[in-house]
Structure 1
Amino acid sequence: MGNTFYFEFEPMLMQWLQDILGEKGIALISNFSAFGEEVMMLLVMGFLYWCYDKKFGVYVGTMGLIASGLNSMVKNVAMRRRPYMVHDEIKCYRPIDKKADLYDVGAQGFSFPSGHSMNSAAVYGSVAYYLKKRLFTIIAFVLPFFVGLSRVVVGMHYPSDVLTGWIGGAIVVLVFSFIYEKAGEERRGLVNLIVFLIFLTGIFFCRTADYFTTIGVMAGCFPALEFEKKYVNFEETSDPKVAVLRLVGGAVIYLGLNTLLKLPFSKAFLASSTMPSFLVRTGRYAIIAFILMGIYPMLFNKKLKNEIGEIDERA
């Protein structure tokens, strides 16, 4: 399943890198992939949204979601097979789903463009765009570079996948930052709805888990932002201890819900690349995103805590 296309130098360069670095060198460089993966993205956006600056977190999270959605849709159009699936001399050292078969495209996804490279360019690039400080601008170039390099070294992406991912992430930040700035805060919800409906068209041709994960997060996150603005309106914190508690609490809720919502279904069903399984994935992530972005912040609300305290005192 999928298409095969590449420049002649790409597999030769990848094989040369794997040979010269060896397993220890590859293992070391592969760690940079973590800066473009789900856990790190959640930590960055969770810290910004729950602790540092809510508006900042919403902006960075939105850029990350749009980049992820665009990436998965382009992948399902190009349908480029991963390098290790085509070239026997290239080994895969860091699959997307370690439990699934290496050649299960539904689980491992397609190759073009690199999601890690695109997501890291969008997230760290949006941080730099928002803050407009030299240090973060440097980070916005350095981190995605090493993330992309790691994806080539571990055999998951051709160099052209990575280059396209970097360019795609930068375009997302520039174009959608302009759109949201022109729309203004009062029309952000409308723009989010339009963005979601556009990306929802991918349901007719996307058959990989990454797309349905992103759509689920969008389906939960965008309404949660409107819910939070209208009914919660929590305050950020500058207290390091409180910030750590919020991050730990969010991580516990995420892991707990992700486990709990899988219980009604068999492992075989969840691992299958079928539309019912994908839709369950979408629903699961929609619930998790809504709770984390809209319901969980209720615990931070001082006004709500005071009201609860007054009720307890009266009782």
Structure 2
Amino acid sequence: MDILLFFQSIRSDILTAIFTTFTICTEQVAVVLIAAIMYWCIDKKCGQRLLFAVTGSITINSGLKNFFKAPRPIGSKNLESLRTETATGYSFPSGHTQTATTVWVALIEYFRKWWITLLGIIMILGAGISRLYLGVHWPEDVFIGWILGIFVSIIFIKLFDYVDQNKRYYILLLTLVLFAIPVYFFRGDELIKSFGLYTGFVLGYIIEDKFIGFSTQESRKKANIFTNNKTKPKLSTKILRFIVGIVTLGIIYAAGKSLQILLFADASQDVLYIIEYIRYTIVVLWGVAGAPFLFEHFGLN
């Protein structure tokens, strides 16, 4: 509490704007945009590793929150918490901190450039400290979020690389079964959604890898029988690919939400959990496999 009150004592308009920005950069919309741009437009392999690590990390974080059920500092005496709408669910460990750490460790490990490493360290530290500055997490929540983000990112990246190189898809399906066990016992809205995200990536990756195979990498196109010219996708093609992907993703998300409200408004909690799981699975499945299928179909590869 002394640490949280210290951050409260140094608040100013500038610092609040800075730390609010750090928090926003680790929320759902920002992470979706980063992953989508990376996977669809810049580097497919990096995007796959990033998505696998992030969806796995979010699922683990939600599971731990539902296991420990630790209360947040919000409402504590003398503490004025800010941006509490981003502080849903339980407190331990910090989801924003763990997600930011997972994302940036994955990017640092893949590109291995000094400026990405520096930016990543700033974003990781900023995300964690922002949760203390805003008064929505305890220090141990943030510290463990950092630790888990690092280890989960590294482990999931190594696991994905092994599966991708050896095409051992059954390993990913096995992780689904392992995750399903704690999800069944602990449940919770955020945990169900997170598991849906992870399931969507696993199924989407397998389908895309086996049957679609779109590429963001440099390709070879035969100019004539004697020569090969290397070509890269034009910037306009990448922009169009992003527009097609994000618009169709938004339509599927909104359509699923609308159908859930119309058809299952009075359903039991268990039925709602199942519907939420299916909805989030379909959304990510579309992003990972459905949108790339459109890229191939419309010549946006």
Does the TM-score normalized on the shorter chain lie above 0.5? yes
Structure-2 residue corresponding to 1:52: 42
Structure-1 residue corresponding to 2:251: 256
Structure-1 residue corresponding to 2:189: 209
Structure-1 residue corresponding to 2:99: 119
Q: Shift of the alpha carbon at 1:182?
A: 4.3
What one-letter code is carried by the residue in structure 2 that aligns with 1:155? G
* Cα separation, 1, equivalents of 2:178 and 2:140: 26
Structure-2 residue corresponding to 1:71: 61
**Residue number among 207, 213, 236 corresponding to 1:227 in the alignment:** 207
Q: Is the contact between residue 91 and residue 155 of structure 1 (CA under 8 Å) also seen in structure 2?
A: yes
Unaligned runs of 5+ in 2: 217-231
What one-letter code is carried by the residue in structure 2 that aligns with 1:90? L
Q: Shift of the alpha carbon at 1:230?
A: 2.1
Q: String of CA shifts for 1:139-187, please: whole Å, max 9, x gaps.
A: 2211011011111122221111111101101111222333344455233
Q: Shift of the alpha carbon at 1:96?
A: 4.5
Q: Does 1:89 align with 2:78?
A: yes
* Cα separation, 1, equivalents of 2:83 and 2:237: 35
Question: Normalising to structure 2: TM-score of the pair?
Answer: 0.85
For residues 177 and 262 of structure 1, do their structure 2 counterparts lie closer, same or farther at Cα, with a shift above 3 Å needed? closer
* Cα separation, 2, equivalents of 1:32 and 1:133: 22
Q: Does 1:157 align with 2:101?
A: no
Q: Shift of the alpha carbon at 1:228?
A: 1.2
Q: Does 1:293 align with 2:288?
A: yes
Q: Shift of the alpha carbon at 1:68?
A: 0.8
* Cα separation, 2, equivalents of 1:144 and 1:119: 9
* Cα separation, 1, equivalents of 2:133 and 2:187: 26
Root-mean-square deviation (Å): 2.5
Structure-1 residue corresponding to 2:125: 145
Identity of aligned residues (%): 24
Structure-2 residue corresponding to 1:280: 275
**Residue number among 18, 21, 25 corresponding to 2:11 in the alignment:** 21
* Cα separation, 2, equivalents of 1:277 and 1:79: 21
What one-letter code is carried by the residue in structure 2 that aligns with 1:133? K
For residues 91 and 129 of structure 1, do their structure 2 counterparts lie closer, same or farther at Cα, with a shift above 3 Å needed? same
Q: String of CA shifts for 1:274-305, please: whole Å, max 9, x gaps.
A: 3332322111111111112111112221xx44
Q: Shift of the alpha carbon at 1:272?
A: 10
What one-letter code is carried by the residue in structure 2 that aligns with 1:169? G
* Cα separation, 1, equivalents of 2:119 and 2:162: 27
Question: Normalising to structure 1: TM-score of the pair?
Answer: 0.81
Matched positions, count = 283
Q: String of CA shifts for 1:231-273, please: whole Å, max 9, x gaps.
A: 2111226432222222233222232222211223449x77999
